[in-house]
Structure 1
Amino acid sequence: MSEIKINVNQLTRVEGHGNIHLEATDGKLDRVLWEVTESPRFFEWMLRGRNYDDVSIISSRICGICSIAHTTASLQATEAAFNIKLSEQSWLLRKLLYNAELLESHVLHVLFLVAPDFLGVDSVIPLVATHGDVVVMAVRLKKLAYNLAEVLAGRKTHPITPVVGGWSQLPDIDALKAIRERLEKAMEDMDTMVAVVKTLAPGIPDFQRPTEYVALKDNKEYAFITGKIASSDGGTTSLNDYQQVTNEFCVPHSSSKFTKHKRDSYMVGALSRFNLNSDQLLPRAKKVARELGMKAPINNPFMISVAQTVETVHAVEDAINIIDKLLARGLHEEEVKVKPRAGRGVGIVEAPRGMLIHDYTYDDNGHIVSANCIIPTGQNHLSIQKDFDALAPTVLEKPEEEIRHTLEMLVRAYDPCISCSVH
């Protein structure tokens, strides 16, 4: 009798703590499990009783990587509760800031966390010696994203100037112009990044598992911070009714809740956005998608990082376009008037890892009575498990180390932010 036992405790190159367990006997799968062991953080409780102007500052601390996404979702939830409408200028600045979030996070995942899997090393550090120019390029792109966020929001991690109803301080025009020049030049780095991903693509496992894909959809643009909740299985859902989609439930092997909608699981993130909205990509990003062989629908979760690459090009292209609009119309100081009122507001954005939800209920004085935050990775945990269930039986004939590596690659493909998911 032959046995395979794989136990990966504390998977590396992901944010947070998660384990992989597999057992097989005589070529038949007995068990495969994606186990989330991160301690619950109860960040919704931290928001209770807080004044509205503190909430986005606290919420941004949920994640050091996606703090702009949490800030944006938080602000939009409060604005919905107070019935505040943003000006065109504030929307443009918010969308521009969001491109900094996408650029930094996607570069980090694709080139620092995923690339080592295809190059036979355990981290990005050995790549400094073998692929130094690519590592330097990745750092340069990350620095550009940080500097863009600094110009707009004071800093990338835990932004300062975005506030309920607008901006506490507008960016400097000359700084915007300088960032635009760097973004234009960064298109050369985008070409290099696409070329790198193209060379790695042959190593992507040929695995298919059709599932339901969920993302925001806006008829006007490739949606990140606007639109309704859409499903690849059909139909849209209003933001306030998000719980009809998420349907959270507990499982004994995870400190994070799981979710499901029309099927036994659904996926959120870059691949879901691509599958639902790829026809709305900007021209250069569309060209890159064709170059990388991307055509919706794509049912291989290992292709998430390729979709992220396409979105990275889109983010740079979009940032240039928005800066041009801002420079053409000019920046104008706007008075931000906030009148708290009792009510509920839901803010939903597309964080780099997928649909992020902040749901707040306020009292008459503008203090939070209750809060609910649903994180992208929490929505993807069940999809990872279902991928395991389908993938594991197909690789059992391979050497044990290769089986382990393939399962690790699958989890890393999702770009999980595990500690955020245990709300």
Structure 2
Amino acid sequence: MTQLNINVHHITRVEGHGNITVNTKDGKIEEITWAIPESPRFFEAMLRGLNYVDVTWIAPRICGICSIAHSTASIQATEAAFGVQLSEQAMLLRKLLYHAETLQSHVLHFYFLAAPDFLGVGSVFPLVNTHKEVVLRALRLKKLANDLADLIGGRKTHPMACIVGGFTKLPEISQLKIMQQRLAQAMDDLRETVKLFKGVKIPNFIRETEYIALKDPKEYAFISGDIASTDTSTA
């Protein structure tokens, strides 16, 4: 009887922290466990009793990758409590800012965290030698997303221009036109991204899972709609 126990602590290519434990017996896997070792940070407790203006700046610090999402959720909760209605312009800019973060996160996930596994290397750094154009494409898209977040939110992460009711400062029309051109020019890189990850071999792994997301009959929901579950129509 041969037993092998593998403990991998602090998985590096995930958006956060994780540990993996694998226990085998006679060449067969008996148990695989995934653990999130990050301790509670008590943001909910920190925010209690604060002025709502301060909450706007603190909530994004929950995460450096999805700070725009936390900022938006915090601001929208305050707006709902106060009955604040956004102008059409402010809502469009807020959605544009959110799309910047979506691109930031997807590029980080696809290229820097997942691609090394799919392309058979240990990290993104060896890709410079084996798939140089893939790395350059990733950097171009990441910079584009960062610049868009900076233009709308005032910073590349932890936005400072977002407040209850709108923004402290709006981008110039000339800046938006330049960004529009850059986004159009990035379409080739985005198509190549889809082509690359459509062609990789993904392990055949299926399990019963409940997925929860926003659902809006009028649009692909990011900051609107109701919370929906795959187990029930709405939650």
Query: Could you tell me the TM-score, scaled by structure 2's length?
Result: 0.95
* Structure 1 position 110 matched with structure 2 position 110: yes
Q: Deviations over 1:161-188 (max 9, x none)?
A: 1110111111110000000000001101
**Structure 2 gap ranges (5+):** none
1:111 and 1:135 in contact (8 A); partners too: yes
1:20 and 1:32 in contact (8 A); partners too: yes
| CA distance in 2 between partners of 1:80 and 1:123 (Å) | 43
| CA distance in 2 between partners of 1:17 and 1:233 (Å) | 28
* Structure 1 position 204 matched with structure 2 position 212: no
Alignment of 1:89-128 (within 5 A): 89-128=89-128
SS at match of 1:23: strand
Q: How far off is 1:231 after superposition?
A: 1.5
Instruction: Give aligned pairs, total.
Output: 235
The amino acid across from 1:100 in the alignment is A
Q: Name 1:221's counterpart in structure 2.
A: 219
Q: Deviations over 1:346-365 (max 9, x none)?
A: xxxxxxxxxxxxxxxxxxxx
Cα distance change of structure 1 residues 189 and 29 upon mapping to structure 2, 3 Å threshold: closer
Q: Name 1:85's counterpart in structure 2.
A: 85
| CA distance in 2 between partners of 1:142 and 1:55 (Å) | 28
| CA distance in 2 between partners of 1:36 and 1:234 (Å) | 27
| CA distance in 2 between partners of 1:213 and 1:36 (Å) | 19
2:150 and 2:157 in contact (8 A); partners too: no
| CA distance in 1 between partners of 2:123 and 2:94 (Å) | 34
Q: How far off is 1:210 after superposition?
A: 3.2
| CA distance in 2 between partners of 1:30 and 1:150 (Å) | 48
The amino acid across from 2:222 in the alignment is F
RMSD, aligned CA: 1.4
Higher RCO (CA-CA < 8 Å; seq separation 6+): 1
SS at match of 2:93: helix
Q: Name 1:150's counterpart in structure 2.
A: 150
* Structure 1 position 162 matched with structure 2 position 159: no
| CA distance in 2 between partners of 1:154 and 1:7 (Å) | 42
Q: How far off is 1:130 after superposition?
A: 1.3
Q: Deviations over 1:175-226 (max 9, x none)?
A: 00000000001101111111211332xx211122232221110000111110
Q: How far off is 1:27 after superposition?
A: 5.2
Cα distance change of structure 1 residues 117 and 29 upon mapping to structure 2, 3 Å threshold: closer
Q: How far off is 1:78 after superposition?
A: 0.7
SS at match of 1:104: helix
1:61 and 1:158 in contact (8 A); partners too: yes
**Structure 1 gap ranges (5+):** 238-423
1:56 and 1:70 in contact (8 A); partners too: no
| CA distance in 2 between partners of 1:126 and 1:110 (Å) | 16
Query: Could you tell me the TM-score, scaled by structure 1's length?
Result: 0.54
| CA distance in 1 between partners of 2:40 and 2:232 (Å) | 34
**What is the percent sequence identity of the aligned residues?**
61
SS at match of 2:211: strand
Alignment of 1:15-414 (within 5 A): 15-26=15-26, 29-200=29-200, 203-237=201-235
| CA distance in 2 between partners of 1:110 and 1:17 (Å) | 18
| CA distance in 2 between partners of 1:170 and 1:217 (Å) | 29
The amino acid across from 2:232 in the alignment is G
The amino acid across from 1:156 in the alignment is K
| CA distance in 2 between partners of 1:29 and 1:148 (Å) | 46
